[in-house]
Amino acid sequence: MNSMTFLLAQNVSSEFLLDPIKPMFLFVTALLASAIVSKLVSDIHKCGLPSHKWHAILIGGLTAGLFAGIFIPTFWISWPTQIIFTVGPILLYWKTRNAAVPEKQKFVIGGDKVRAFFKKRGTSKSLAGAQLAFKDANKKDRPNPAKSDPILPAFQAADALLGNALHKRASRVDLVVKPDAVSAAITVDGIRSKADSATPEITTAMIDFLKGLAALDVKEKRKRQSGSFFVINEEVVIPVSISIAGSSAGQQLRIDFDRARTMTRTIPQVGFLPSQEKTVQSIMDPMSRGGVVLLAAAPGQGLTSSALAMLSGHDAFTAAVKTLEKNLIHRLDGVDHQVWTSAQGGVDYSTHLQSIIRRSPDVVYVEDAAEVGVGKLIAAPNNNEIRFYVAMPVDGVAAAITEWVKSVGDVKLAAGPLRLVIAQKLCRKLCLACRVGYQPSPDQAKKLGIAAGKQVELFKGSGKVQTKNKIIDCPMCNGTGYVGQIIISEVFVVDDEARVFLAKGDLKSAYNSSRLRHKLPGMQESALLRVRDGTTSLEEAIRILSPAASKSAAPAAAGDKPTSTTPPAAGKPAAGKSAPAPSAAKPASPPNKPKASQ
């Protein structure tokens, strides 16, 4: 101990002995940093980040900074060095944490945040207990009404409905207002559940209030209207999109929160497995753009989002990228989005598409191939240099190909331009803060392709965390055990051999030959791989692979015992599955088979 003290005394510069203020800077900096690091250490587990790794980084930076301050002789070098070593790991954790948590739980410091804080402290809300503040379509503040204001009940209904939805991390709210009843539902991570609502009279007034925010026609009760406004929740500004239409039976309102965020993903962000992503990226080569890519997903399974991600794989500033849509949800920079409506003066969908093709685009996204003449127009041989992405609102590879052949009307013509078929389902991701590990049973391990005797840890959602010796609902997922969604996909490559089989109407042989040649995982295999890597749970994989079961009953809440813990056999399709995922040894064939035109 005496030798260590002597060593430190030798290395302390004479500046410290002559000027005691300078060492105070070093130790105050170390003290403040220690307080911040102690807070972050308790935050690491809540966010589900690797605790040992971040403990070492934060405490190591604190220690390195303190030693740098003490042992570097020149104060004006030692103190900045201490700050760099100390603050660097904290900023790195800040960035990593913000990328892993929901928007409202991010650490944010900036002018807008500070101004919002002082505005809240200085003026407060005119209505006590309000969860939200509102901005109109032009981002102008809409003052909360006073207690004597006649619009107060409508405001309170909007505040309660939207505030509770945001608290539960809902992405969407649906309302149906009838003269004698109101039904409300929210969607959280793809799961729809009932929500509380006000009386029909108050709900109708609330809809008018929201229309006013979105600059829509309040008096119009029948025609479909769409608009947007903003809400401020916990000092975070959130864009809100609304779409409303009416009939003699009542009004229907759809509300989406920050829809653009889910529509601006790139191909790596979609959630393909590495082998699938490599295959998808390979068709983005601008020198071989031609061909048709079918994008298949059942309604509500992220079809539009994935289609926009595919378009983002092309440089819209060096290639002419166009779309023909019936419902424009989001605009990509540089992409020419064209919207077709039935009120376009006698111009049908296929005629509008023909006018787009005549302008020689490089890439075209077609939202509806079921319209008369669309499939034959896309498959025409003179359009073989254009890349077409065609949306198919069906479940599975086989169903997509079958519908494509129907649209074209000739199996040989339909098979010619096909390059790729991508089918997908949305799957909930486990909450990293509360997931718990377990060892699979021998039967589960066999179904997952895990070698006998090999120790593999799987995960399931608990929805619970321990804080100060108390078990509480996880604040990251609100007790559901899941946060966010990822796609489970199947990528079917239509190579020359598969194309020959398809042209003969033999989908079974085309599917098997492609699977054997390219060795890409099927839908079921993709889901089970996501179970093995800890992205999702076995129960969630069973749910998405068994659509018939998922319709009849909602998924079990986090922590509940699942009705089954065994996934479908690798060589057998789940109930209702249109394109089964075959085992690695022997590919199974899809049940649907397109018929050649007579």
Spell out the SS3 assignment of 433-494: CCCEEECCCHHHHHHCCCCCCCCCCEEECCCEEEECCEEEECCCCCCCCEEEEEEEEEEEEC
Look at residue 83 and tell me whether its pLDDT is greater than 90: no
Predicted confidence (pLDDT) per residue in 486-519, tens digit:
999 999 999 999 999 999 999 999 999 999 999 9
- Compute the radius of gyration of the chain from its Cα atoms: 29
| Domain residue extents for the chain | 2-100, 111-261, 267-428+486-552
Find out whether 483 and 169 touch, Cβ atoms under 8 Å: yes
Contact 275, 292 (CB under 8 A): no
Residue pLDDT, tens place only, 257-312: 998 888 888 999 999 999 999 999 999 988 888 999 999 999 989 999 999 999 99
User: Structure tokens of 301?
Assistant: 């399974």
Mean pLDDT of 531-539: 93
Same fold, 111-261 and 267-428+486-552: no
- pTM score, whole prediction: 0.73
CATH of domain 111-261: 3.30.450.90
- What are 425-471's pLDDT values in tens digits? 999 999 998 999 998 888 888 777 777 777 788 999 999 988 778 88
Residue 420 has pLDDT above 90, yes or no: yes
How sure is the predictor about 554, in pLDDT bands with cuts at 50, 70 and 90?
very low
Q: And the tokens for 91? A: 């900023």
- Banded pLDDT at 57 (limits 50, 70, 90): confident
- Output the CATH code of domain 267-428+486-552: 3.40.50.300
> Could you read off the pLDDT of 196-232 as tens digits, one per residue?
989 999 999 999 999 999 999 999 888 889 999 999 9
Cβ count within 10 A of residue 83: 17
Contacts 24+ apart (CB under 8 A), 46-52: 46/433, 46/465, 46/475, 46/476, 47/97, 47/100, 47/101, 47/432, 47/433, 47/476, 48/100, 48/431, 48/432, 48/433, 48/434, 48/435, 48/476, 49/96, 49/97, 49/100, 49/432
Euclidean distance between the first and final Cα of the chain, in Å? Answer: 96
- Is pLDDT at 78 greater than 90 in this prediction? no
Share of the chain above pLDDT 90, in %: 51
Q: Are 169 and 193 in contact (CB under 8 A)?
A: no
Indicate whether 322 pLDDT > 70: yes
What are the φ and ψ backbone dihedral angles of 321, each rounded to 5 degrees? -110, 125
* pLDDT-based confidence at residue 402 (cuts at 50, 70, 90): very high
* Confidence at 125, pLDDT banded by 50, 70, 90: very low
Report the distance separating Cα 541 and Cα 568, nearest Å: 10
Pick the range with the lowest mean pLDDT from 28-37, 120-129, 515-524, 542-551: 120-129
Enter the tokens of residue 304. Answer: 């539009």
| Nearest-angstrom CA–CA distance, 587 and 390 | 26
pLDDT at 333 over 70: yes
User: What is the reported pLDDT for 48?
Assistant: 66
Q: Which residues pair with 390 in a beta bridge?
A: 294, 366
Mean pLDDT of the chain: 82
Q: Which of residues 322 and 563 earns the better pLDDT score?
A: 322
